[in-house]
Amino acid sequence: MAGRDLRALFSTNDRRLEAGEAFTNRQQQWEIVAAALTEHLQHTAGPGFDVEDLEAPRDNIMVFHGVGGIGKTTLSRKLEAALAGTERRPAQWGEPTWAGERILPVRIDLARSAGTSFEDLVLTIRAALSSLGRPLPAFDVALRRYWEQQHPGEPLEDYLRRGGLAGRFGKAMPQQMQSAMADVAQALLLPGTVGTAIGQITGSLVRALRERRQTVRALAECARLADLLEADPDLEALSFYPHLLAWELAHLPPASRVTPVILLDTFEDVGDRTHRDLERLIQRVVWLMPNAFFIGTGRSRVQWADPALQGELDYTGSAAWPGLAAPACAIPAARAASPVRGRGRQVLVGDFSPEDCDDYLARRLSHAGQPLISSEIRQVITGRSHGLPLYLDLSVLRFLEIRRTREPVPADFDHDFGALIARTLSDLTPDERHVLRSVSLLDAFDLTLATAAAGLAHQAPAQRLIERPFVRENAFGLWPYHLHGLIRSTLRSADDATDDRWTDTDWQQAATRILTALGNQWNATAGSVPDRMLLVGCLRQGLTLARDFRLDLGWLTDAAWSYVSDSVWEPLAPPVRPDGTLGLQTPADALVELLAALARRQHEHRSVTASRLTAVTRSHLLPDDLHEMAVYYLAKAHRDLGDSAASRQGMQLVADGNGRLSHAARRGLAHLARLAGDFPTAYDTARTLGWVGRQHRVEGDIHWPHGDMDRAAAAYAAARDQAEQHSIAGERATSQAHRALVLAFTDPDAADDELHLAEQLLTGLDLRATRLTVQIAALVRDAGTPPRPRGCPRPTRRDPRRRHHRCRSRP
């Protein structure tokens, strides 16, 4: 426990309550920092390191970025404490590998609310170095000259005291600077010391440096000191003075050597994407102090490795900042090449695990040493938080607020906080906010889809948005980007008090735009090579939008037919409505239920499927062609349940309608005739079906019960080949499974190859009944076959697809 949680402490009159600021372990982040700092120390100690080399790439910065409320500031403070001494470092973090090296952590809050100027940043670094107990002449002379010019009549001591630096780092800095001035004046043999004008000292020092006098030979080794002292002492010149600090640190005696670790918190507030003046100055400090190590924490990645920023910043591109460059592609760690120095210096601060969330909540509030928040409530909060620490904090305050009047219960925390919206939107442009709200309606998106969802003509706002840490990336996904789960749910459901909050009409219009955009993406590929993954993805997102916002089906009708035609049955059911309403009220409701029932029918009893499809048909919400789809599959369910009369009635209705499933319905009537023993009718009907009615497979279904195995196997092979020609993966796998079953009875050796092929064709398909057929075929193949005796040779391979054979003994 790092301290007292004052907000929680002042939210209740219960003096027995223990409210602590719990810090949940961030060991992984510490290990990253420790490894990077160890690498930095080794680099600066190497013989090739030169603090005055202004052209070498810089690896002396790393950045932790993440969504607002993820705990970056807490991490920054904990890192500062851990680097300052072992007594404040969590035990599980272990000992660092730089034992014996002196580390000086300096944390600087760059938040706008803190009012930190660039002057303050430079003074903070110098004030922290006052712990060395010695002046830093090159820097101190330049800084004194700057101060006298920019703050005439204002003592530096007073400024440091008002800004809190004197209280934080002591009062030694002004005395050290004065001592440096006196030493320089004495070396230059100037009359007087303290009273000597700074201009006279610097002028004399510059002349002495130019003339390479022996009296200033130590300072003369700093090649750029004279140039800096001759420059106008303005803010621009001040931003180059850190070079003098770095030079002084590099020339300290070995016993006094120190490595500053400068933690720059709330880095996103140093400027925005259009005004980078402060960021340019801070970048200059990092570049000019290669022997210091910088750790930034902020909401966004640092863009210094982007060559497009050339001209806005002094040092840009991946050659200058190899560790800050984004990887060309997302390579899983197990396949990535050996790491090189500086790689991976931009680290996303991840969400808490469920275990961390529970531990955090248990330790935040306690009473008599026991957690005040019950395990049931902690479980609800953890589930809704998506691992975001800010949500946990807000839930703790909500707990205390409710506790004032009654005992909190788990249902009280099925709650979204509007404060998360304000936190998320605070540093976004209006266009970025518009895109963010639009894509919150999507499970996943790409740049094109996000731009269309927002109704914008240009991609720039969407491009900027995906760089934010609350947008997660899956390089292998159909659409690579998705919003952080809690941010998305909060945008959709929490009370929005921002000035540009959306009305219900705004959300409705966004949903309509997105549904149209999804349809355009699917239609762009529907006429070429079918993309099953895109079809299913568009259906899943489109069905949810059409259901939740009561939109017309439009392209979803054709997409539903494409989904059914392949007989693969990936799960499509969207989550429950946000408003919790149930029942079939719109055509989208009915289509969602229809496709969900079809996808689930291989995983639940046919009576359940029949009940769901009956509800769809009785709702009469679907257009005629989709209504026939429901009637057809209801008839199939009735056939499987043994209700031949109801099945025949439904099949006949669809067949007479001459719609898209009329051939399939005639195939169903053939099957019903076969099951009834009317084989002549079944056979005659089968011969009229053609490819659309799956004629060859139906013929195989008729031949093999009659023992005509060769003709059945040939029919199934023809059905498989036809399905392959038409790129119907489900039909191809089903026909091959039936062929394997037939051959398992007549030629078990040949069945080996057919079963192997069936398993290959089933890869990636959700066809449970067909998989059962393959398993039955394997059992039939092995029935009555003794194990192969040891030493029995394998038979000659007759087919290149054969995997294995067994020695079979038959009478």
| Tens digits of residue pLDDT in 153-165 | 899 999 999 988 9
Tens of pLDDT, residue by residue over 164-196, are: 898 898 889 989 988 888 878 777 766 654 444
**594: confidence class by pLDDT, cuts 50, 70, 90:** very high
pLDDT of residue 607: 94
Q: Classify strands 365-367 and 17-19 as parallel, antiparallel or unpaired.
A: antiparallel
Q: How many CB atoms lie within 10 A of CB 298?
A: 25
Determine the average pLDDT of the residues in 3-16. 60
Largest CA distance in the chain: 126
Question: Which value, to the nearest 10 degrees, does the dihedral of the CA atoms of residues 574, 575, 581, 585 take?
Answer: 0
| Cα(666)–Cα(670) distance, integer angstroms | 6
pLDDT of residue 556: 96
Q: Could you give the residue ranges of the DSSP H alpha helices within 46-155?
A: 72-84, 118-128, 137-150
pLDDT of residue 18: 62
Q: Classify strands 103-109 and 259-265 as parallel, antiparallel or unpaired.
A: parallel
Tens of pLDDT, residue by residue over 650-674, are: 999 999 998 999 888 988 888 888 8
Quick one: tokens of 513? 């735009």
pLDDT of residue 192: 52
Select the more confidently predicted residue: 102 or 499: 102
| Cα(380)–Cα(358) distance, integer angstroms | 10
pLDDT of residue 342: 42
Please measure the distance between the N-terminal and C-terminal CA atoms of the chain and give it in whole angstroms.
Answer: 80
**803: confidence class by pLDDT, cuts 50, 70, 90:** very low
Which residue carries 């007087």 as its tokens? 192
Give the DSSP per-residue string, 500-528.
Answer: TPPPHHHHHHHHHHHHHHHHHHHHHHHTS
pLDDT of residue 332: 34
**526: confidence class by pLDDT, cuts 50, 70, 90:** low
Assess whether pLDDT exceeds 80 at residue 505: yes
Tens of pLDDT, residue by residue over 24-34, are: 567 888 889 99
Tens of pLDDT, residue by residue over 614-645, are: 999 999 999 999 999 999 999 999 999 999 99
Assess whether pLDDT exceeds 50 at residue 591: yes
pLDDT of residue 343: 56
**339: confidence class by pLDDT, cuts 50, 70, 90:** very low
Q: In DSSP terms, which residues pair with 260 in a beta bridge?
A: 104
**787: confidence class by pLDDT, cuts 50, 70, 90:** low
Determine the average pLDDT of the residues in 216-225. 79
**530: confidence class by pLDDT, cuts 50, 70, 90:** low
Pair 386, 349: CB distance under 8 Å: no
| Cα(572)–Cα(168) distance, integer angstroms | 60
Quick one: tokens of 487? 């941010």
Tens of pLDDT, residue by residue over 429-444, are: 899 999 999 999 999 9
pLDDT of residue 15: 59
| Cα(478)–Cα(533) distance, integer angstroms | 7
Say if residue 618 is exposed, middle or buried (CB neighbours under 10 Å; 0-12, 13-18, 19+): exposed
- Lowest-confidence pick of 286-295, 594-603, 700-709: 700-709
Assess whether pLDDT exceeds 80 at residue 728: yes
3-class SS of residue 51: coil
Quick one: tokens of 432? 């970025």
| Cα(446)–Cα(520) distance, integer angstroms | 14
**799: confidence class by pLDDT, cuts 50, 70, 90:** very low
The distance from CA 370 to its chain's CA centroid, rounded to whole angstroms, is 35
Assess whether pLDDT exceeds 90 at residue 283: yes
**227: confidence class by pLDDT, cuts 50, 70, 90:** confident
Pair 117, 273: CB distance under 8 Å: no
| Cα(619)–Cα(597) distance, integer angstroms | 15
Q: Give me the chain's average pLDDT, please.
A: 84
Quick one: tokens of 458? 């240009």
pLDDT of residue 663: 87
| Cα(454)–Cα(441) distance, integer angstroms | 11
pLDDT of residue 602: 79
pLDDT of residue 24: 58
Pair 372, 365: CB distance under 8 Å: yes
Pair 149, 109: CB distance under 8 Å: no
pLDDT of residue 336: 33
Assess whether pLDDT exceeds 80 at residue 379: yes
Pair 65, 349: CB distance under 8 Å: yes
**7: confidence class by pLDDT, cuts 50, 70, 90:** low
Select the more confidently predicted residue: 82 or 216: 82
Tens of pLDDT, residue by residue over 566-586, are: 777 888 877 776 666 667 889
Quick one: tokens of 794? 């394998």
pLDDT of residue 364: 83
**544: confidence class by pLDDT, cuts 50, 70, 90:** very high
Question: Which value, in Å, is the radius of gyration of the alpha carbons in the chain?
Answer: 37
**115: confidence class by pLDDT, cuts 50, 70, 90:** confident
pLDDT of residue 568: 76
Share of residues in the chain with pLDDT > 70 (%): 87
pLDDT of residue 811: 32
∠ CA(169), CA(171), CA(173), 5° rounding?
Answer: 85
Tens of pLDDT, residue by residue over 43-94, are: 999 999 999 999 999 999 999 988 777 788 888 998 998 898 777 777 777 7
- Lowest-confidence pick of 115-124, 195-204, 523-532: 195-204
